[in-house]
Amino acid sequence: MSIVISGVGLADGNSADLAIVDGRFVDAADAPGDAERIDGAGLLALPGLVDLHTHLREPGKEDAETVETGTRAAARGGYTAVFAMPNLDPTTDTAAAAPVVAELGRRDGHCEVVPIGAVTKGRDGGELAELGLMAAQGVRVFSDDGACVHDSLTMRRALTYLKTYDGVVAQHAQDPRLAGPSACCHESEVSGRLGLPAWPSVAESVIIARDVQLAEFTGGRYHACHISTAESVDIIRWAKKRGKADITAEVTPHHLLLDTPHVESFDTTYKVNPPLRTNEHIEALREALVDGTIDIVGTDHAPHTQEDKDHPFDVASPGMLGLEEALAVVMELFVSTGRMDWASVVDRMSTAPARIGRLPHQGRPVAVGEPANLVLVDPSRRATVDRSRSASKSRNNPYHGLDLPDPVQMTVWAGKVTFRR
């Protein structure tokens, strides 16, 4: 497939004629005469987005999502690569399990699917998983996401061991004594009034504070998943200022946009771990994403069936969809308000996540000779989010009914069009 996009804008403010031939960007003058021609006036060509935090549910929970439907949602959102979390059945904790996820991606994916290995066997926080064997197969991100690696010695060992392979531990920071399995609402006036089990902000930050010191001590790479509190931001900022370890952090679109009062309806669409926070935490997260304290936006795309959500709030499954609206939320909060330019969006949603995940062929510039991973964006297009139109198999979309940008016109992965409006 050959495509020429003429007069399209780039993230640096310039414009260009782009050509895609045999999976790479080439000089537009070298495109064949029968190439598809697209008028790029008013559009932006950005590197394909990369999500370091996706739950695809297959194998094991195909009633909520499959690799095919999840990556179709990813392509609809402008993504050309997603990292698949290991909370599957079987857990991605062995050298045999990791290739299964990768093969499903090659067979059914509308974008690249990169397996994440579990840190501990069964994600139970005890014995280390087959870290070295998975690393030998190319796995570079390891996480027990959905569960915290709460034992200090286990975390020390994981950081030390993975340093050998340039692997990174991606931590779900939740102190199980401060926020146990039933915790589901930010500890505040709202949790007290609604009678919901509370999740104090320090339950997240005390784990991150311990972990960054262990990362300094071991020299291992550490990534804080879905941080949601001002205290966590302060600790990450402190650690980066010290510069003694490779520390990175992510924030989700929903923690940037949605606040604690959303749970007052007891709508379990808004139940998520960590929980939605109050405005002082939200603003701290936004500021940290702008100034680079938070490195990336990770969707934590977490599809669930209606049956898993149709329970009392404190026992319903936690999680929200995110792949299709992530770019829209970032545009609404940061680009439209002037807090962030397009080059910064590219860094937070493409370049940096590819770098953290050690995926060198993703997050690359839109330039001659580079792999043709591209999202074509219409900055002016808006729409009302409708959960029934989601490409995902599930419908737990927290943005339903909101008027947001609807920017993705086309997604190209390795030269192949995976979404087109």
- Residue 407, domain member (yes or no): no
Split at pLDDT 50, 70, 90, the class of 1 is confident
Q: Which domain holds residue 261?
A: 49-366
- Residue 406, domain member (yes or no): no
- Residue 256, domain member (yes or no): yes
- Residue 371, domain member (yes or no): no
Pick the closest to residue 27 from 367, 316, 321, 358 (CA basis).
Answer: 367
The total number of structural domains that make up the chain: 1
Contact 80, 111 (CB under 8 A): yes
**What is the predicted pLDDT for the residue at 271?**
98
> How distant, in Å, are the alpha carbons of 9, 55, 80, 133, 406 from that of 73?
25, 12, 11, 31, 13
Contact 70, 303 (CB under 8 A): yes
For position 215, which CATH number holds? Answer: 3.20.20.140
pTM exceeds 0.95:
yes
**What is the predicted pLDDT for the residue at 5?**
98
What is the overall mean pLDDT for the chain? 98
- Residue 108, domain member (yes or no): yes
Active-site residue, selected from the candidate residues 93, 246, 300, 308: 300
Q: Which helix (H) or strand (E) holds 24?
A: strand 24-26
> How distant, in Å, are the alpha carbons of 15, 40, 186 from that of 31?
18, 16, 55
- Residue 3, domain member (yes or no): no
Split at pLDDT 50, 70, 90, the class of 121 is very high
Q: How far is the first Cα of the chain from the last one, in angstroms, to the nearest whole number?
A: 18
pLDDT digits (tens, 9 = 90+) for 217-253: 999 999 999 999 999 999 999 999 999 999 999 999 9
User: Is 406 tagged catalytic?
Assistant: no
Residues 254-281 have a mean pLDDT of 98
pLDDT digits (tens, 9 = 90+) for 37-55: 999 999 999 999 999 999 9
- Residue 352, domain member (yes or no): yes
CA atoms of 164 and 390, how far apart (whole Å): 41
- Residue 403, domain member (yes or no): no
